[in-house]
Chain A
Amino acid sequence: MENSSDFFKDLLSNLQGCLKEFNCASEIKTSEQEAILYGKISHAAERYTIVVHLKEENYTPATSGMGKLRFPDDAAQKIRMPNLDVQTSQAAKSHCSEEEQVEIKNKFMDDANDMGREFLNKMKK
C-alpha cells in the first residue's frame, strides 16, 4: 500500500512535468490505493481535458466505514444498560404511593430545569 502511494506520486509527478512542457497546469490527488491527475489544456482554439486515474488492480473503494471504541472489560460489568430482554425485576420497584411518586417527579423537574440552564450556559462558553 505504502509502495503504491509512493509509486503513484512518482509516476504522476513525472507526467505532470511532461504536461507542463505543453503549458498544461494539472493537479494530483492521491490516497493510499489510488491517485488522480487532472488538468486542462488548450490547443488550436480547442480545450482538452486530461484525467489519469491510477489504482491497485484489485482495489474496490468502500463507500462505508465503521469503528468501535475499546473500553476496559471491567467497565462493562458495572453498568446496567437499557435492554429488551424479558426480566422479572431490573429496577427497584416503587414502594411509595402515587402522591409520593408525583412529589418525587416534581422535585426532580425543579432540579432538571436548573441543570438544563447550566448545561446551555456551559455550551455557550
Chain B
Amino acid sequence: MPTLSNYWFKDTDFRGETVFLSIQHPSGGWAWINWSNIGEKRSTLTWEREDREVTYDLVSLLNNPLVLNLIDSSLGDAQRTSDLRIGWVPRKYLPYSSSGGALDLFLRLSFNFHISTPWYCSDADGHIDYIIACFLDSTGTVGARVDGWAFDYDGGGPFCTGEISNRLNSAVPGAIGTLQEQLDIFLGLLGRRQFDLLYYLPGSAEKAGSGTTNVNDRVSLALLPR
C-alpha cells in the first residue's frame, strides 16, 4: 500500500521545525489525516510514497566513527563540538549566489566547532557547512558533488578574528577533496544501480505515525530503484 506523508514547516519555503504524519492508504482511496492543532506554520508539503521507495537516514549513516575521524583529522586547530547535521536547503537560501531553480534542494552537512585562542583573545565558537548537490544523471545513475562551503562564528575578539578567519578560509575548502573522495567511493558503489527518482524526506523518513524534526538539520535520502 502506498504511504501518504504530510509535513508542516515553521518557516516559509519548507524550512525549520517540521511536524510530520505518515499514513498508509489503499490505491484509489482517500488517505485520512486529522490534525488536532497544527500551530503556527508557514508552509506544507505532501508526498505519496511508492512501496519500492528505499530511504537512508543521512544523519545516522554519517555519524559513524570512520566518517567522524576523517572530518576531525581535516579540521586543523578547530575541534568539532557536535554531531554531524544533514538537512536540506533550497537554492535561494544558499549562503552564496547560485543560478538555477530557486527551490532546487541541496544538502547541507554542518557541525559546530570550537577554536582555542591565546590568552589575549576570546575563544571562537561557530559552525562549518558544506553544501552538497545530489542528482540523477540522464541514465538514472546517482551522483553528488560538493557545491560550496561556509563558516560563521562568534568570539575571537578583540585581536584574533583576522587570523581565525584566515585559517578557516583555508582549512574549510581544503577539506572538500577528502569529502568528495568519500562521496565518490560511496556513489561508485551505488552507481551499479539505476533509479527513477531521487528525493529527500524530512527527518528519518518514517512511514507511519507522527512526530517532529527539523528539516534544516535532518533529512533522509529517498530513491526509487528500477
Q: Which residues of A contact B143 (CB under 8 A)?
A: 79
Contact of A67 (CB < 8 Å), options: B96, B120, B165: B96
Q: Which residues of B contact A78 (CB under 8 A)?
A: 137-138
Shortest CB–CB separation between residue B208 and chain A, in angstroms? 16
Interface size of A by CB at 8 A reads: 52
The verdict on A48 contacting chain B, using a C-beta distance below 8 Å, is no
Asked if residues A53 and B159 are in contact (CB atoms below 8 Å), the reply is yes
Chain A residue at minimum C-beta to C-beta distance from B66: A123
| Total residue contacts A-B, CB cutoff 8 A | 160
Given contacts A62-B161, A91-B224, contact A81 B53 (CB under 8 A): no
For residues 156 through 181 of chain B, which have their beta carbon under 8 Å from a beta carbon of chain A?
156, 158-166, 168-169, 172-173, 176
Asked if residues A112 and B96 are in contact (CB atoms below 8 Å), the reply is no
Chain B residue at minimum C-beta to C-beta distance from A105: B52
Contact of B189 (CB < 8 Å), options: A59, A65, A119: A119
Shortest CB–CB separation between residue B13 and chain A, in angstroms? 8
C-alpha spacing A83/B53, complex, angstroms: 17
C-alpha spacing A71/B169, complex, angstroms: 20
For residues 190 through 221 of chain B, which have their beta carbon under 8 Å from a beta carbon of chain A?
190, 192-193, 196-200
The verdict on B105 contacting chain A, using a C-beta distance below 8 Å, is yes
Shortest CB–CB separation between residue A22 and chain B, in angstroms? 20
Shortest CB–CB separation between residue B25 and chain A, in angstroms? 12
Asked if residues A80 and B136 are in contact (CB atoms below 8 Å), the reply is yes
Contact of A31 (CB < 8 Å), options: B104, B163, B225: B163
Contact of B118 (CB < 8 Å), options: A31, A34, A38, A102: A38
Asked if residues A62 and B165 are in contact (CB atoms below 8 Å), the reply is yes
Asked if residues B152 and A64 are in contact (CB atoms below 8 Å), the reply is yes
Asked if residues A67 and B173 are in contact (CB atoms below 8 Å), the reply is yes
Interface size of B by CB at 8 A reads: 76
Given contacts A62-B165, A63-B153, A64-B152, contact A91 B196 (CB under 8 A): yes
Q: Which residues of B contact A59 (CB under 8 A)?
A: 162
Asked if residues B145 and A71 are in contact (CB atoms below 8 Å), the reply is yes
Asked if residues A124 and B137 are in contact (CB atoms below 8 Å), the reply is no
The verdict on B83 contacting chain A, using a C-beta distance below 8 Å, is no
Asked if residues A63 and B165 are in contact (CB atoms below 8 Å), the reply is yes
C-alpha spacing A103/B198, complex, angstroms: 19
Residue-wise interface mask of B (63-76) relative to A, using a CB-CB cutoff of 8 A (1 in contact, 0 not): 00011001000000
Asked if residues A98 and B135 are in contact (CB atoms below 8 Å), the reply is no
The verdict on A115 contacting chain B, using a C-beta distance below 8 Å, is yes
Given contacts A55-B162, A79-B143, A111-B193, contact A122 B96 (CB under 8 A): no
Residue-wise interface mask of A (55-88) relative to B, using a CB-CB cutoff of 8 A (1 in contact, 0 not): 1000101111111110100001011111111000
Given contacts A81-B135, A120-B66, contact A105 B226 (CB under 8 A): no
The verdict on A44 contacting chain B, using a C-beta distance below 8 Å, is no
Given contacts A64-B151, A115-B190, 13 further A-B contacts (CB under 8 A): A29-B163, A63-B153, A64-B165, A65-B169, A67-B150, A69-B176, A76-B100, A81-B135, A82-B134, A82-B199, A98-B1, A101-B52, A120-B66
Q: Which 6 pairs across A and B sit closest by C-beta, in order of nearness?
A: A91-B197, A61-B161, A79-B135, A101-B52, A101-B51, A66-B150
